[in-house]
Amino acid sequence: MNYRLFFQRKLNFGKRLIRLHHSNALLFLVLSVTGFILFSSTFRSIFPSVRVWIRDFHIWVGVFLCLPLLLYLPKMKQHIKTLQKKKNNRINLYFFLVILILLIVSGFLLTYHRLFPPIVSSWSLFIHDLSTWFGVPYAIYHSITRSQWFKQIVKTKPEKRVQEPFIIDDQNPIYKRRTFLKVLSGSIIALAFLPSMTKWLRAYLPAGGPTETLTDGNQLTPLPLPSANSSPPIGGGKKGEFRYYTVTEIPKLTNENWSFTLDGLVEQPKHYNWSEFVKLQRNVQVSDFHCVTGWSVYDITWEGIPLKKLLQDAGIKKETKYVKFYSADGVYTDTLTIKQALQDDIMVAVLLDGKLINQKNGGPVRLIVPKMYAYKSVKWLNRIQLIKEDHIGYWEERGYSTDAWVNT
Ligand SMILES: Nc1nc2c(c(=O)[nH]1)N[C@H]1C(S)=C(S)[C@@H](COP(=O)(O)O)O[C@H]1N2
Ligand SMILES: [Mo]
């Protein structure tokens, strides 16, 4: 056997693995940063115009992440052989492989979410989030504890380090020091991630999280009385949690600054203050709520005024082509064609599961369009205008699809 060649091949194998490891780490870093930007509600309101670019970039980097993985797989068997005596390295490897595969598969399903019913996106998003909540802190821990810097701090005297990985001896000062520093950095990282992680997890726990309190920023009286179907809610109460979104500061609505206008191409324009508005006849319906980013809330009991009734009572002029919705935040708008707007289940909603819709959730009055993605469901709704020319909604202007139908 040609030993030189053998040796060289072995060397190349190691080098190649290191290179794969580095490109994998770099891609993972880019994905973590862009992923957190997409998740962050702050970023949503500060840089809304780049949101869709970042999403597409995140997806493409995710596609590239498959490459190091695919290149690694044929080498895996040989690699694992070299790890025979290193149990921790093997656990580390399997853990990351599982995380990466979960992220890639769920990411793929989220990218093509429109091809599947919303329940597929809900699960994919859960898996994607979960693998992120475990993968990212662990990756940080891994990069710290494997860095040269960390090894430098750990070792006291260079000659002692030689015996290090093999003799696990509690009395060995290096071992003690290393364990201590590992536990310390692990705990710091875990503590840093724990609050947001538990907040995220609570949405999935059967209790449904903390009950919505009425420490609500809005102040409107009188409170509308829920009908018998609404309280207790005929849908049995919502399943899942909303992720509260806004592109502005959340408006604080009171009897003084709240009003509701229906104008444009109607026979009789309407203008209501709060006490007039709560006297309008309301209906109750149960429907689901789907965000285009993958999360859903099911079986929500809404009480409100069917949009169709509101429009027909005002008298729709023949030339009407579109219905435009305005938010009291002064920025967010969206549109439906008049034909879409006349679907029976679109509602100008006032109560959710028997309670006045709270401020974060778009209260006191929001639109709901159950068959379309929720970017159509304008929060803090205060004006509906019937128009002839099309209007492009807030998120559609920034890259969201004008076709918002949910595939059910
Ligand atoms: N005024 C206003 N309405 C809005 C939004 C917004 O940012 N501002 N976000 C939309 C999007 S993308 C979704 S998913 C839902 C979220 O509703 P929630 O914040 O009550 O969960 O509101 C929609 N309506
Ligand atoms: Mo959304």
pLDDT digits (tens, 9 = 90+) for 244-286: 999 999 999 999 999 999 999 999 999 999 999 999 999 999 9
Centre of ligand 2 to C-alpha 125, Å, is 13
Residue keyed to tokens 């979410």 = 113
**Rounded-to-integer distance, Cα 31 and Cα 101, Å:** 14
332 ligand 1 Cβ < 6 A: yes
Q: pTM of the prediction?
A: 0.89
Q: How confident is the model at residue 41 (pLDDT cuts 50, 70, 90)?
A: confident
Nearest Cα to Cα of residue 137 among 181, 184, 89, 185: 185
Q: Which atom of ligand 1 is nearest to the CA of 373?
A: 14
Residue nearest to atom 24 of ligand 1 (CA): 378
What residues does the ion ligand 2 have nearby, CB within 5 Å?
291, 374-375
Q: Which atom of ligand 1 is nearest to the CA of 295?
A: 14
Q: Ligand 1 pocket test: which of 292, 334, 379 has the largest number of ligand atoms within 8 Å of its C-beta?
A: 379
Which ligand is nearest to the Cα of residue 369, counting in written order?
A: 1
Q: Tell me the per-residue pLDDT of 173-183, one tens digit each, with 9 for 90 and over.
A: 777 888 899 99
Instruction: Please name the residues in contact with 402: beta carbons below 8 A apart, sequence gap of 6 or more.
Output: 392, 393, 396
Residue nearest to atom 23 of ligand 1 (CA): 375
Q: Which atom of ligand 1 is nearest to the CA of 380?
A: 1
**Pairing state between β 270-272 and 347-352:** unpaired
Q: Tell me the per-residue pLDDT of 315-337, one tens digit each, with 9 for 90 and over.
A: 999 999 999 999 999 999 999 99
Q: Which atom of ligand 1 is nearest to the CA of 361?
A: 20
Predicted pLDDT of residue 166: 52
Question: What domains can you pick out in the chain, each with its CATH number?
Answer: 3-202 (1.20.950), 260-397 (3.90.420.10)
**Rounded-to-integer distance, Cα 168 and Cα 175, Å:** 7
The predicted model gives 345-359 an average pLDDT of 97
Which ligand is nearest to the Cα of residue 393, counting in written order?
A: 1
Centre of ligand 1 to C-alpha 378, Å, is 6
Tell whether the model's pLDDT for residue 341 goes beyond 80: yes
Centre of ligand 2 to C-alpha 291, Å, is 4
Nearest Cα to Cα of residue 17 among 89, 63, 68, 61: 68
Centre of ligand 2 to C-alpha 320, Å, is 27
Q: Which atom of ligand 1 is nearest to the CA of 242?
A: 21
Centre of ligand 2 to C-alpha 245, Å, is 8
Which ligand is nearest to the Cα of residue 330, counting in written order?
A: 1
Tell whether the model's pLDDT for residue 210 goes beyond 50: no
